[in-house]
Structure 1
Amino acid sequence: MPWSDLWRRRAGAEDREPAAGAPPAPLEIARAYHRVSKHHTHRYADGPGWLDWANQPAPFRTWLGAPRVALQVPSSDGAARYDEVLRGAAREPSAPSAALASELCFDSLAVTAWKQAGDARWALRANPSSGNLHPTELYLALGPEWGLADEPALWHYAPREHALERLATCTRESWRRAFDGCAPGSALLVPTSIPWREAWKYGLRAWRYCQHDLGHALAALGLAAHAQGWRVDELAEAELAPLTVAAGWPARGPERELPDLALVLAPGASSRAQPRLAELEWRAGGARPNELSAEHVDWEAIDALEEALARAPRASAERAEHAPALVLASSPCTRSFRAVARTRRSAVDMDGRTALARAAFERMLAAALPHAAHPAFAALAPPPRAHLLLFVHRVDGLAPGLYFCARRSGAAGDLRARCRPEFEWARVDAPSGIELYRLHAGDMRGVAAALSCQQALAGNGAFSAGMLCELEAGFASLGARAYPRLFRECGALGQVLYLEAEAAGVRATGIGCFFDDGVHALLGMRDEAWQSLYHFAVGAAIDDARLTTLPAYPTPEGAAD
C-alpha cells in the first residue's frame, strides 16, 4: 500500500505505529497527510520542481464514443436578480427541460470567456480553480421529463462545447422505484475530481486544491439552482460504486476520476425525500475518457489519503440545525445573478490604494454566514466549521488590523482560549448576526503578504482572509471524512466572497499557497485543534492590458484540447 512512505514522513512523535502489516487508521492518515502537505518558510511541501509543459493535462474531459446533445446557449442576462438569489428568496421553479439543464450548467460550471496572449488561448469558467486547472467534472442523471432522451440517462457536462455527453441509460421502472416519493423532475448531480490535473503543477498539496475547487463548484451549483427555483441537497450515505461502473470513470491509475458525492436536484419548495440509488439499473454506453497527459508523476501520499478516506467508516451526520435566516442588507448591485456569476474573475494583483466601503465589507461578512435558506451552503451540512481570520487593510471606518469573524456561535470563545493572551478581542459594532472581533490594531499588510507565500496581493487588497477551521472538532464528530468537508466548506465560502466582491465592483482571488504554521504561530496556537486551510484576498484588481478577451461561445477556433 502506498501509505508507508507517508507514515514514515509524518510529523508528530505522539502517533502510534500501526499493527504489523496493517495500514494506519484513516484518521491518522488524514492527520499525516495534513502535516506533510504544509508549506513552511524554510521548506515548501513537495512539488514537481518544474513544470512539464509537454504533459500539461488537457483542460477538458471528453468521452469518446458518447452521443452528444448540444445545449442552447442562454441569454446573457438571466431573470433572477443577484441580490434575490444571495438572500435565498423563494422563486417559482422552472419546469424540468433541456433549457433548465442548460441554464443550470451555464451559470455554474460553463466557460465564461476565452483569454488570448499571442498564440496562446485559455478558457475562464464560472467556477474558479487553483491554477485554472479544473479538476472538477459534473455528471447529471436526468429522467425522460427533462426532454434529453426517451429514458433516464447519465450525462457528462462538456463546458467547452456547452453540451451533454450520454454515458449510460437506466430502466424506467428502476428509476421510478428509486425516485418514488421524490418531487417530480428530481434528478442527481454527481461532481467528480481528477487529482492529476492539480498534481501536475502542485504536487503533494494538489488534493487540498481539488477539495477547494469542489467547494467552489458546490456553491456555484447551489446558487445556480436557486436562480431557477430549484435546490441541491447532499444525498446522505450515497453508494456510488454502481454508478462508477456504469459511467466508466477510471477508478485506478494516474488519471483516475473520483466521484466525490451525490446531490439531489429538486424543485425548491418540494419534499426533501431522497432517491434510493441501489434501485437504479444502469446500462453502460461503452464510451471512453480522453487521455489527459502522455506521462505522469505518482504522488503516493495522495493515493494513501484517497484509499484511507474510501475505507473510513461513515459516521453519523452531526445533529445540528442551520442558524436562522439572516436578513442581508440590500446590495447596491442591481445586476442579474447570471451577469455577476459569469463576469467573476480572479485578480492577479491589486492596486494597493482602493478602499472598500464598510457597508460592502459588512455585507460580504453577512453573506458568508450559513443559514437554512442560503443556497451556497445547501450541500454542506451544519454546523459550520470554517471561520474568517481577517487582515483588514483598507476598509472605510474600520481601523487596519487583525480581526476574527465567527460563523458559529461559541467558536470565538474556543479560539480565544487557544490564542495569545495579549489579543484585544474587542467586539466590533456590526449589523445583527455578524460576530466580529478586533484582535490587534495595526498595519498587517506585510504580515498578510508574508504568510501568503510572499504574494503581494494579500497586502495590496482591501482585506485578506485566512479560513481557520475547527479541525479536531470535525474529526471528533465525523472522523476522517470531516477532512475533505472542511476544505469544501472553505471553497464554498470563497465562492460567496468572489461573487460579493464582483457585485461590489471589486475583485477577489483564492490563495492556496500560504505558510500554514506561520498563521498558527501568529495567533499563538500550540496544537492542531484549529488549522488554516485556505486564504483569500479582496480588493481593486489590476488588469493585464496585454490580454485579449474573446466570447465564451462558440469555442474559438484553435482552442486547446
Structure 2
Amino acid sequence: MLGIEQKKNYVIHYHNQTKHYPNRFASAPGFLEWDTQPNPFRFYRGAEKIGLPFRKDVKEIPYLNIYKNKINPTKDFNLQNLGIFLEYALGLSAWKSIPGATWSLRINPSSGNLHPTEGYLVLPDLPDLKSGIYHYSPYLHSLERRALLTSSLKEKLFEFFQGEGFVVGLSSIYWRESWKYGERAYRYCHLDLGHALACIRMSANLLGWNVTCLNQFSHEDVDEILGLRQMQQIPAEIEEGDILCLVHHSKDFHSFDSFSYEILEEFRKLDFSGVPNQLSGEHVDWEIINIVASNCKKDRTASTPQVSPDYPPMKDYPKNSSSAHIIIKGRRSALAMDGETSITKDQFLSMLDKTLPRSDAIPFDLELCEPKIHLVLFVHRVEGLDQGVYIFVRNPDDFKLLRTKLNPEYSWGQVEEDFPLYQLAKADVRSVAAAISCGQAIAGDSAFSLAMLANFEKSVHVDPTCYPVLYWESGIIGQVLYLEAEAHGVRSTGIGCFFDDPVHEYIGLKDNSFQSMYHFTVGGAVDDVRLQTLRPYHHLK
C-alpha cells in the first residue's frame, strides 16, 4: 500500500502530465471513432423499472429562492416529490436536432455532453415505493430497483437518518470522457460531478429539503452501499462510487459519526439484480487514469463539517420574477460569443456574489470541504469597470499567500468595501484570455472569462485525496455561474481546454502552490440557427 507521500507525488505527476501547452497537448485519441462513442445512458437489464411523475403544478418559485435556505415550503418525501427532485437535478432538459443527428441535454452539464456521472438512491419505504437501492435513469425518468432493503437494514438506516430522509450517491465512468479526451478525462469527470452536486442541492432546496455530504465514507464504502461491487462490470467501463449525500428535512442534522460501519456487512449481503448495459463495442485503455483514481481513493475519516468564512448577506439581485424552474431547465452552454454584449457592474458583482461559500447559502452549504478555489477574472465588457485582470478571493485565509505568490507588480485595489474582489492590473486582456484558453475566441469575445485557481498547498500537498474534490468545488461554482448568466439574460460555458502553465506564468506564479483547474466564460451568445429544440421527454409520449 502506498503512503501519503507517494500518493501525493503521483497525483502531482498526473496533474503535470495532463497539462496542455501551446506546443504539446495532453495525450488523447488522434481522431474519434464515432462507432465506439459510449452510450451516455446506463440501463440495468432485468431490474424492475418504476416510472417517476413529472412536475405538473404551475406555481412558480422565484429564481433567487434557489440560493436561500429555509425559505421554500418543506415537501413530504414521496414518489411525486422524488420525481420532481430528480427531474430538476439529473433529468433531461431538452433535445437538440439537426438533419441527421439528435442528442439530449441534461440539467447537469457535462464536458463534451458525454455524461460520466451516474446517480443512485438509497430509499426508505415511501408511499407507493418500497425501500431499496435504485439507479436513476434520466432517459426514462424512472428508477431501476437494484435491491430491496432488509427489515434490519431499514431500521438501522432510519436511526442514522434520525427520521425521514434518503441517500443520493454519485459515481463516475471514466471511459465516457476518455473516449474523447484521453488522459485528461479524470479532470473532466470530476468537474461534471461537481456540477451534478450543485444541481442536486438546488433541486432539493426548491422542495424545502436539505442536503449534507457524508464525507466520512471511503470510496470502498460508497461502492458497497451503491452495489457497484456486486455487479458484473466490463473492465474498461468500470464505474466507481464517488460520494454519498443525505437528503433530509432538518438543518440540524449533525450526527455524522453515528453510522455503524457494521451496517456495511448487511449491504454486502443484499441480493442485487440487473446487468449494466455495455457502453461501447471497443475501448482504449488509459492506464494513467486508473492509477490516479487509485491514488485518490479516500479512506474512512471522521466527518469534517465545513467551516465557512464570514461574509455579508447575499446581494438580492436580479430583482425580477424569473422562475427558478424555468432558469434551471433553460440553462444552455454557449457555443460562441458575439464580441459585443456587455453586462453592468451590478450584474457582474451579483454573479460573483452567488459563488461565495456562505455556510447558509445554496449550494455551498453541502459541507463538502473548506473553500480552496479563487477566481482570476479577465474583464472585457463590464460597464463601470476597467478592462483588466481581477481576482475574487473566496477564502480570506488565502489572501496573504495569494498576494505573495502572484505578480508583485499587481495593484490589489479593492473594487468595493466588504467585497473580496480586487483589481490586479488594467489592460485589454481579450487576446490573452483567448490565447490561454487553447486559442478559443469564446474566452475573449465574452463580457468576462475566468480561471478557477486552487490552493494546492493546502489541499493536494497535505492530502492527495483532495484532488478530485478541488474539481467538485470548481464544478459547483461553474453551475452557479451557468444559472446566474441565464438569470441576467446572457449565456455562459465551461472551458476545460486551457494552457495550464501559461495561465500561471501570466499571473506570476512560479511554483505549484496554486493551480488552474477550470475556465469559464460569460457573455452574449451566438446561437446556431440550424438547431431545432425538442421537449426533454418527447420520446416517452
If the length of structure 2 is used for normalisation, what is the TM-score? 0.94
Q: Residues 159 and 299 (structure 1 numbering): CA distance in 2 closer, same or farther, change over 3 Å?
A: same
Shift, 1:423, TM fit: 1.2
Give runs of aligned pairs for residues 9-88 of structure 1, distance below 5 A.
25-75=6-56, 79-88=60-69
Q: Are 1:302 and 2:289 an aligned pair?
A: yes
Shift, 1:28, TM fit: 1.4
Q: Residues 485 and 23 (structure 1 numbering): CA distance in 2 closer, same or farther, change over 3 Å?
A: closer
Shift, 1:169, TM fit: 1.2
Q: Residues 325 and 443 (structure 1 numbering): CA distance in 2 closer, same or farther, change over 3 Å?
A: closer
Question: Alignment partner of 2:453: what SS?
Answer: strand
2:102 to 121, 138, 141: 121
Question: Alignment partner of 1:222: what SS?
Answer: helix
Is the CA contact (8 Å cut-off) linking 1:78 and 1:336 kept in structure 2? no
Q: Residues 116 and 246 (structure 1 numbering): CA distance in 2 closer, same or farther, change over 3 Å?
A: closer
Shift, 1:329, TM fit: 2.1
Please name the residue that 1:343 is paired with: 330
Amino acid at match of 2:492: A
2:446 to 417, 436, 461: 461
How many Å separate the matches in 1 of 2:58 and 2:312? 27
Question: Alignment partner of 2:204: what SS?
Answer: helix
Instruction: Compare 345-354 and 327-336 and name the one that shifted more.
Output: 327-336
Q: Residues 122 and 525 (structure 1 numbering): CA distance in 2 closer, same or farther, change over 3 Å?
A: same
Aligned structure 1 segments of 4 or more residues deviating by more than 6 angstroms: none
Describe the superposition over 1:383-430 as per-residue Cα deviations: whole angstroms up to 9, x where unpaired: 200010000000110000000000011322211101221111111125
Describe the superposition over 1:170-203 as per-residue Cα deviations: whole angstroms up to 9, x where unpaired: 1122221133153432111001100000000000
Give runs of aligned pairs for residues 148-227 of structure 1, distance below 5 A.
148-149=129-130, 152-180=131-159, 182-227=161-206
How many Å separate the matches in 2 of 1:45 and 1:446? 23
Is the CA contact (8 Å cut-off) linking 1:380 and 1:489 kept in structure 2? no
Unaligned runs of 5+ residues in structure 2 are: none
1:521 to 502, 505, 508: 505
Q: Are 1:104 and 2:90 an aligned pair?
A: no
How many Å separate the matches in 2 of 1:520 and 1:318? 31
How many Å separate the matches in 1 of 2:68 and 2:301? 32
Is the CA contact (8 Å cut-off) linking 2:334 and 2:491 kept in structure 1? yes
Shift, 1:380, TM fit: 4.3
How many Å separate the matches in 1 of 2:304 and 2:153? 31
Question: Alignment partner of 1:147: what SS?
Answer: coil
Amino acid at match of 1:230: W
Describe the superposition over 1:44-99 as per-residue Cα deviations: whole angstroms up to 9, x where unpaired: 00001110101000111111001001111213856432102213343332101011
2:237 to 233, 255, 260: 255
Is the CA contact (8 Å cut-off) linking 1:134 and 1:213 kept in structure 2? yes
Q: Are 1:327 and 2:309 an aligned pair?
A: no
How many Å separate the matches in 1 of 2:183 and 2:66? 37
Q: Residues 318 and 235 (structure 1 numbering): CA distance in 2 closer, same or farther, change over 3 Å?
A: closer
Shift, 1:519, TM fit: 0.6
Is the CA contact (8 Å cut-off) linking 1:466 and 1:534 kept in structure 2? yes
Q: Residues 356 and 278 (structure 1 numbering): CA distance in 2 closer, same or farther, change over 3 Å?
A: farther
Q: Residues 69 and 78 (structure 1 numbering): CA distance in 2 closer, same or farther, change over 3 Å?
A: farther
Q: Residues 528 and 318 (structure 1 numbering): CA distance in 2 closer, same or farther, change over 3 Å?
A: farther
Q: Residues 481 and 65 (structure 1 numbering): CA distance in 2 closer, same or farther, change over 3 Å?
A: same
Question: Alignment partner of 2:196: what SS?
Answer: helix
How many Å separate the matches in 1 of 2:514 and 2:401? 10
Is the CA contact (8 Å cut-off) linking 1:400 and 1:442 kept in structure 2? yes
Is the CA contact (8 Å cut-off) linking 1:248 and 1:287 kept in structure 2? no
Please name the residue that 2:466 is paired with: 482
Shift, 1:277, TM fit: 5.8
1:143 to 118, 121, 124: 124
Describe the superposition over 1:427-474 as per-residue Cα deviations: whole angstroms up to 9, x where unpaired: 1125x3x20111110100000000000000000110001000001211
Shift, 1:139, TM fit: 0.2
Please name the residue that 1:385 is paired with: 372
Q: Residues 51 and 421 (structure 1 numbering): CA distance in 2 closer, same or farther, change over 3 Å?
A: same
> Sequence identity of aligned pairs in percent?
37
Is the CA contact (8 Å cut-off) linking 2:51 and 2:142 kept in structure 1? yes
How many Å separate the matches in 1 of 2:154 and 2:396? 42
Describe the superposition over 1:1-29 as per-residue Cα deviations: whole angstroms up to 9, x where unpaired: 9xxxxxxxxxxxxxxxx9xxx99821111
Describe the superposition over 1:255-301 as per-residue Cα deviations: whole angstroms up to 9, x where unpaired: 01011011111014353334546426342332100010000000010
Q: Residues 250 and 509 (structure 1 numbering): CA distance in 2 closer, same or farther, change over 3 Å?
A: farther
Please name the residue that 2:487 is paired with: 503
Unaligned runs of 5+ residues in structure 1 are: 2-17
How many Å separate the matches in 1 of 2:24 and 2:293? 24
How many Å separate the matches in 2 of 1:219 and 1:483? 18
Is the CA contact (8 Å cut-off) linking 2:140 and 2:540 kept in structure 1? no
Please name the residue that 1:423 is paired with: 410
Describe the superposition over 1:141-181 as per-residue Cα deviations: whole angstroms up to 9, x where unpaired: 111125312xx201111111111110111112222113315
Is the CA contact (8 Å cut-off) linking 1:178 and 1:277 kept in structure 2? no
1:435 to 396, 412, 420: 420
Provide the aligned C-alpha RMSD in A.
2.1
Amino acid at match of 1:227: L
Describe the superposition over 1:492-523 as per-residue Cα deviations: whole angstroms up to 9, x where unpaired: 00000001111111111000000000110001
How many Å separate the matches in 2 of 1:153 and 1:168? 5
Amino acid at match of 2:63: Y
1:94 to 75, 83, 91: 75
Is the CA contact (8 Å cut-off) linking 2:413 and 2:423 kept in structure 1? yes
How many Å separate the matches in 2 of 1:303 and 1:264? 28
How many Å separate the matches in 2 of 1:443 and 1:40? 23
Shift, 1:333, TM fit: 3.4
Amino acid at match of 1:504: H
2:361 to 371, 374, 389: 374
How many Å separate the matches in 2 of 1:198 and 1:241? 20
Question: Alignment partner of 1:378: what SS?
Answer: helix
Q: Are 1:552 and 2:523 an aligned pair?
A: no
Q: Residues 319 and 126 (structure 1 numbering): CA distance in 2 closer, same or farther, change over 3 Å?
A: closer
Please name the residue that 1:4 is paired with: none
1:286 to 273, 278, 302: 273
Q: Residues 333 and 126 (structure 1 numbering): CA distance in 2 closer, same or farther, change over 3 Å?
A: farther
Shift, 1:208, TM fit: 0.1
Instruction: Compare 409-418 and 384-393 and name the one that shifted more.
Output: 409-418
Q: Residues 205 and 333 (structure 1 numbering): CA distance in 2 closer, same or farther, change over 3 Å?
A: farther
Question: Alignment partner of 2:383: what SS?
Answer: coil
How many Å separate the matches in 1 of 2:77 and 2:261? 20
Q: Are 1:356 and 2:337 an aligned pair?
A: no
Amino acid at match of 1:487: Y
Question: Alignment partner of 1:240: what SS?
Answer: helix
How many Å separate the matches in 2 of 1:117 and 1:196? 27
Is the CA contact (8 Å cut-off) linking 1:340 and 1:499 kept in structure 2? yes
Describe the superposition over 1:202-244 as per-residue Cα deviations: whole angstroms up to 9, x where unpaired: 0000000000000000011011111111111111322224325
Q: Are 1:395 and 2:382 an aligned pair?
A: yes
Q: Residues 397 and 181 (structure 1 numbering): CA distance in 2 closer, same or farther, change over 3 Å?
A: same
